């Protein structure tokens, strides 16, 4: 019981971290699984959201909400740049698009470091949630608890939108057969632009919300891109439930794992990733991209 008690705080931290990764990876997997774009600039959009939120927030609720809104708008605009940039390249395959996003990531990263400098930017969370709460005899930051609730709501809402609405059905159809969706009367460029904007908005939102957890700094973009990628590889590209489980698992490894054995946690993360790659390769999987909803078998 004592050992369990000692690891309770990192375990809850892991849930918060994992949910943040889930929201962060959602934008990447949306564009990857449905739009066919490997967006290397995803982490940069996350960092942009974080910086914007950090600049606006001053500790009041209104500024926090404003910061979040600015982060989402910034991310969406970044997504729009992606949409405009990749649209002429869609016919030319995946690599030119990936290279373009890398170019945009380099330029964006340079602009961010020029504007915000090389230091971490601390984020002021609203005073009301800046304190700590007590549970089971432990002290825990209130913001993280609130974040867990918000991220869980976001995750459920996203899954419902994808699984139960017309827009979601259109997205899943696009992942399966883009040409057919075009034949149904949805202009492909509109779908592409909407996907890019939505992915950018999600990245900005994750950056703004998660700024108190993964603060905006010079390493943020790389770190978020890499962890989001790990989540997608582990969860299976396009799998909503898989990504969720993978995100929480990665979150736990990064927090609980490090608190139990800081020497072995990184190996665990990448060992899991290597195992996932090998299993998929043996099964001949990883070839198709698409969206798999929880509880629904994919043909």
Partner 1 sequence: MSAPTSPVTPSGSADPSVETEPVMPTVRASQTARTILSSPRLRVGAPATAAAVLLLIAPSTFDGYGIGLLSKALALGVLAVSVVVLAGFAGLPSVGQAAPFMVGAYTAGIMGQHGHGIGVVQLVCGAGAAAGFAAVTGLVVIRTRELAFLMTTLAVGELAVAVAGQWHSLTGGTDGMYGIPPVRPVPGTALLDSDKSVYWYVLAATVVVVAVAWRVLRSPVGKLLLACRDHEARMRSAGHPVTLYQWLAYVAAGALAGFGGVLMCTVNEYVSPADGSFANSALVLLAVVLGGATSPLGALLGAGLIVATRDWLSGPFPGHGPLLLGLMFIIAVYALPNGVAGVKVRLPRRPGGSA
Are 240 and 292 in contact by the 8 Å Cβ rule? The answer is yes
Residue 140 bridge partners (DSSP): 133
3-state SS of 31-91 is: HHHCCCCCCCCHHHHHHHHHHHHHHHCCCCHHHHHHHHHHHHHHHHHHHHHHHHHHHHHHH
Task: Give SS3 for 138.
Answer: strand
The nearer residue to partner 1, 8 or 89, going by C-beta atoms, is 89
Using CB under 8 A as the binding rule, whether residue 289 contacts partner 1 is answered as yes
Q: Judged by CB under 8 A, how many residues of this single chain contact partner 1?
A: 47
Q: Would you count residue 288 as binding partner 1 (CB under 8 A)?
A: yes
Is 179 among the residues that bind partner 1 (CB under 8 A)? no
In angstroms, rounded to a whole number, what is the distance separating the alpha carbons of residues 211 and 186? 36
Angle at CA 263, nearest 5°, toward 248 and 279?
50
In this chain, which stretch among 107-115, 147-155, 162-170, 246-254 interacts with partner 1, using CB under 8 A?
Answer: 107-115
Please list, in sequence order, all residues whose beta carbon lies within 8 angstroms of the beta carbon of residue 52, skipping any fewer than 6 positions away: 67, 70, 71, 74, 204, 207, 208
- Taking CB under 8 A as the criterion, the residue among 89, 145, 241, 260 binding partner 1 is 89
CB atoms inside a 10 Å sphere around CB 218: 15
Which part of the chain contacts partner 1 (CB under 8 A), choosing from 17-25, 109-117, 143-151, 199-207? 109-117
Per-residue x/- mask for partner 1, residues 215 to 254, rule CB under 8 A? -----------x--xx-xx---x-----------------
Q: Is the Cβ–Cβ distance between 84 and 22 less than 8 Å?
A: no
Contacting partner 1 (CB under 8 A), which of 73, 80, 98, 145?
98
Q: Least distance from C-beta 6 to partner 1, angstroms?
A: 25
User: CB-wise, 41 or 53, nearer to partner 1?
Assistant: 41
Of 6, 84, 111, 184, the one binding partner 1 by CB under 8 A: 111
160 binds partner 1 (CB under 8 A): no
Locate 100 and state its tokens: 């373009």
Footprint of partner 1 on 113-132 (CB under 8 A): 113-114
Q: Which one of 92, 164, 190, 298 is in contact with partner 1 (CB under 8 A)?
A: 92
Report d(CA 142, CA 139) in Å as an integer. Answer: 9
Binding residue (CB under 8 A) for partner 1 from 274, 294, 296, 298: 274
Cα of 52 vs its chain's centroid, Å: 17
Nearer to partner 1, 109 or 212 (CB): 109
Note every long-range contact of 133-136, with CB atoms under 8 Å and residues 24 or more positions apart, other chains counting. Answer: 136/5, 136/8
Q: Can you tell me the distance from the alpha carbon of 156 to that of 294, in angstroms, rounded to the nearest whole number?
A: 12
Interface ranges with partner 1 (CB under 8 A): 32, 36, 38, 40, 85, 88-89, 92-96, 98-100, 102-111, 113-114, 226, 229-230, 232-233, 237, 266-267, 269-270, 273-274, 277-278, 281, 284, 286-289
């Amino acid at each position: 019981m004592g050992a369990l008690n000692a690891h309770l705080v990192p375990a809850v931290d892991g849930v918060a971290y994992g949910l943040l990764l889930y929201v962060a990876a959602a934008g990447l997997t949306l564009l990857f699984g449905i739009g066919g774009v490997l967006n290397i600039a995803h982490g940069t959009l996350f960092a942009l959201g974080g910086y914007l939120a950090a600049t606006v927030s001053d500790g009041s609720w209104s500024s926090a909400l404003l910061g979040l809104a600015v982060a989402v708008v910034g991310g969406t605009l970044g997504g729009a740049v992606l949409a405009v940039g990749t649209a002429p390249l869609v016919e030319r395959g995946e690599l030119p698009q990936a290279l373009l996003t890398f170019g945009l990531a380099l330029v964006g990263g340079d602009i961010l470091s020029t504007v915000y400098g090389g230091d971490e930017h601390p984020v002021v969370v609203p005073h009301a949630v800046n304190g700590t709460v007590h549970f089971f005899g432990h002290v825990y930051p209130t913001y993280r608890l609130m974040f867990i609730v918000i991220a869980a709501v976001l995750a459920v809402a996203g899954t419902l939108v994808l699984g139960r609405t017309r827009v979601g059905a259109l997205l899943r159809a696009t992942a399966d057969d883009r040409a057919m969706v075009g034949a149904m009367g949805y202009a492909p460029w509109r779908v592409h632009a909407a996907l890019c904007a939505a992915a950018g908005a999600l990245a900005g939102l994750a950056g703004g919300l998660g700024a108190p957890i993964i603060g905006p700094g010079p390493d943020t973009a790389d770190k978020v891109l890499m962890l989001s990628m790990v989540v997608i590889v582990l969860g299976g590209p396009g799998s909503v439930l898989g990504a969720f489980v993978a995100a929480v698992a990665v979150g736990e490894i990064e927090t609980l794992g490090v608190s139990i054995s800081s020497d072995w946690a990184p190996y665990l993360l990448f060992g899991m990733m290597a195992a996932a790659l090998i299993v998929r390769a043996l099964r001949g999987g990883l070839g198709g991209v698409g969206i798999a909803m929880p509880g629904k078998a994919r043909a």
